[in-house]
Amino acid sequence: MSAKPQLRLRMRVMVDDTIAVGPGKIALLQALDETRSITAAARALGMSYRRAWTLIDELNRALKEPAVISAAGGSQGGGSELSPSGRQLLELYRGIEAQALAACKPDIQRLLKLLA
């Protein structure tokens, strides 16, 4: 039995040759919002802490205001959370995806019917 074809949009916002905002960074923001930890978010997505930290740093540098606010570890423990800007970015990105899929639904269905 073969898998049913599914269409996934992979929206990216480029600045020069750098992906300022893309599906990986958005997935990381979403996981971080759920876990409140860069380590746990990275683990949930199957990536290294270093990779997650690098993606967050790239994203924070690309935005006017940082998307992620981190507290240093220590006796109180550390942690990270989305800033208001990060939350807005996540909501806008997911909203654009949903609107694009809804607007293109008839064409997407026709395209999927062409597949075996």
% of the chain beyond a pLDDT of 90: 81
Helices (H), the chain: 23-35, 38-45, 49-62, 84-103, 105-113
- pLDDT tens digits along 1-48: 578 888 988 999 999 998 999 999 999 999 999 999 999 999 999 999
pTM of this structure: 0.86
Domain boundaries, the chain: 13-70+78-113
pLDDT of residue 77: 62
Is 46 exposed, middle or buried (CB count within 10 Å of its CB: 0-12, 13-18, 19+)? exposed
- CATH class of the domain comprising 13-70+78-113: mainly alpha
Q: Which stretch, 62-71, 75-84, 86-95, has highest mean pLDDT?
A: 86-95
